[in-house]
């Protein structure tokens, strides 16, 4: 499952920069880079926080990730 890729795609579709997301989610940009490149997986809490910021449901991220297998 490519959760990070799904987050990146949805973030880009919403026109939110990586820098803006990292600031709004109080994330280190290095962490966000690793997350979006599927080098690490987010916790459920972090996934919910990111989904809220990019204004999608967690299920939207999961469904997109399933399509990106």
- Bigger pLDDT: 52 or 67? 52
13 vs 40: CA distance, rounded Å: 22
- Domains of the chain in sequence order: 3-67 (1.10.260.40)
Which burial class, exposed, middle or buried, applies to 19 when counting CB atoms under 10 A from its CB (0-12, 13-18, 19+)? exposed
What is residue 68's predicted lDDT score, i.e. its pLDDT? Answer: 78
| Phi, psi dihedral angles at 52 (to 5 degrees) | -65, -45
Q: What end-to-end distance do the CA atoms of the chain give, in Å?
A: 6
- Express each pLDDT in 21-45 by its tens digit: 999 999 999 999 999 999 999 999 9
50 vs 42: CA distance, rounded Å: 10
What is residue 1's predicted lDDT score, i.e. its pLDDT? Answer: 75
């Amino acid at each position: 499952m490519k959760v990070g890729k799904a987050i990146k795609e949805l973030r880009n579709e919403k026109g939110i920069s990586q820098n803006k997301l990292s600031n709004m989610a109080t994330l280190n940009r290095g962490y966000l880079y690793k997350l979006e490149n599927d080098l690490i997986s987010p916790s459920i809490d972090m996934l919910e926080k990111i989904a809220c910021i990019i204004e999608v449901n967690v299920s939207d991220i999961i469904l997109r990730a399933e399509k990106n297998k």
